[in-house]
Amino acid sequence: MISIQSESLSAVINPFGAELSSLRDADGRELMTDADPAFWSGRAPLLFPIVGRLMDDKYRLDGKEYALPQHGFARRQDFALVEQAPDRAVFRLVDNAETRAVYPFAFALDAAFTLIDASLLMEITVTNTGDVDMPASFGFHPAFAWPLPYGSSKEEHQITFADEEPGELAAIVRGGWMDADSWETPVEDRVLELYDELFERDALVWNPVRSQSLSYGALGGPQLACDFPDTPALGLWMKPGARYLCIEPWHGIADPYGFTGEIWDKPLMLRFAPGEARTFTMRVSLRV
């Protein structure tokens, strides 16, 4: 485990998956999930090279079929620590025999975590290190404490979007694929009131999401402000009864149900030219 610290926050990152495992305030109060295995033991996996689930857990490329689990393989790989300072750590995953067997591309995935006062900046850079075009998606998946550790109940918490979000939500069918149907938005005047029953059908998915930032917390209490300028879709997810809320900015999404196209045709899939790099940013700030 690698620890970094600022005057206002401390964080711990697990090199396995380059997963943010703890984020605490200056008084040591945990802002992340308790990772209760009765619900979900994840903390903040990095989603690469796909986001969501493939139809039948397979994709097609140049007439061949490959198998990939939901959200890809990065979360199950050991990253190398390539830079460390008291307030910053950078991890790197490069292609290897295991990844090339299911994703035949040369890549580098760099995950930088930097604490700046009361903010955690996460910068994930995808680079095509090969000599052919590379398909890739990326998504964040951090799970924050719900309720936050400041004395308010779960029911007092809400999400406030930076912009109006009048569009319908993308629907997820049982099994994790996207449905052709949609759900009526539960957002009113930029506010989403949070309660367990919201998530009985699965995640709430905005595709596209208008906002590039939101705040999460109890009205009148400390808030977590989340900025995500590089991702056009957003998921919110928890399992009813659990004590976490995942705030997930994505540049990628699950396959539409019944999808049989090539990976290039997958919604929100990016094409990286040889040598091309792209950085995805998420900033989480504690506002008291």
Q: Give first-to-last CA distance, the chain, whole Å.
A: 28
Distance, in Å, from the CA atom of 23 to the CA atom of 32, rounded to the nearest integer, reads 6
Residue whose token pair is 């200056």: 26
pTM above 0.95, yes or no: yes
Please give the pLDDT value at position 174. 80
Taking residues 124-137, report their average pLDDT: 98
Peptide bond into 240 cis (omega under 30): no
* Residues 49-80 pLDDT 10s: 999 999 999 999 999 999 999 999 999 999 99
Mean residue pLDDT of the chain comes to 97
Please give the pLDDT value at position 123. 98
For 254-277, b where at least 16 C-beta lie within 10 A, e where not — what string?
bbbbebeeebeebbbbbebeeeee
Could you tell me which of 170, 134, 177, 138 has the C-alpha nearest to residue 264? 134
Distance, in Å, from the CA atom of 157 to the CA atom of 214, rounded to the nearest integer, reads 13
Please give the pLDDT value at position 51. 97
- pLDDT interval class at 181 (50, 70, 90): confident
Peptide bond into 135 cis (omega under 30): no
Is 29's pLDDT higher than 90? yes
- pLDDT interval class at 214 (50, 70, 90): very high
Q: Are strands 169-172 and 178-183 parallel, antiparallel or unpaired?
A: antiparallel
Find how far residue 138's CA is from the centre of its chain: 8
Q: What percent of the chain has pLDDT over 70?
A: 100
Please give the pLDDT value at position 225. 98
Could you tell me which of 104, 86, 90, 108 has the C-alpha nearest to residue 10? 86
- pLDDT interval class at 85 (50, 70, 90): very high
Distance, in Å, from the CA atom of 39 to the CA atom of 3, rounded to the nearest integer, reads 26
Could you tell me which of 224, 248, 252 has the C-alpha nearest to residue 237? 248
* Residues 186-196 pLDDT 10s: 999 999 999 99
Residue 42 and residue 35 in contact, taking contact as beta carbons nearer than 8 Å: yes
Please give the pLDDT value at position 184. 92
Is 30's pLDDT higher than 90? yes
Domains annotated on the chain, with CATH = 2-287 (2.70.98.10)
Q: What is the DSSP letter of 99?
A: H
Distance, in Å, from the CA atom of 116 to the CA atom of 122, rounded to the nearest integer, reads 11
Q: Which residues, 6+ apart, have CB-to-CB distance to 40 below 8 Å?
A: 33, 143, 239, 242, 244
* Residues 217-258 pLDDT 10s: 999 999 999 999 999 999 999 999 999 999 999 999 999 999
Please give the pLDDT value at position 180. 86
Q: Which residues, 6+ apart, have CB-to-CB distance to 37 below 8 Å?
A: none
Taking residues 171-178, report their average pLDDT: 88
Residue 115 and residue 25 in contact, taking contact as beta carbons nearer than 8 Å: no
* Residues 270-282 pLDDT 10s: 999 999 999 999 9
Please give the pLDDT value at position 175. 82
Taking residues 156-165, report their average pLDDT: 98
C-alpha dihedral (47, 50, 52, 58), degrees to nearest 10: -140
Is 201's pLDDT higher than 90? no
H-helix or E-strand spanning residue 182: strand 178-183
Residue 139 and residue 51 in contact, taking contact as beta carbons nearer than 8 Å: yes
Taking residues 133-147, report their average pLDDT: 98
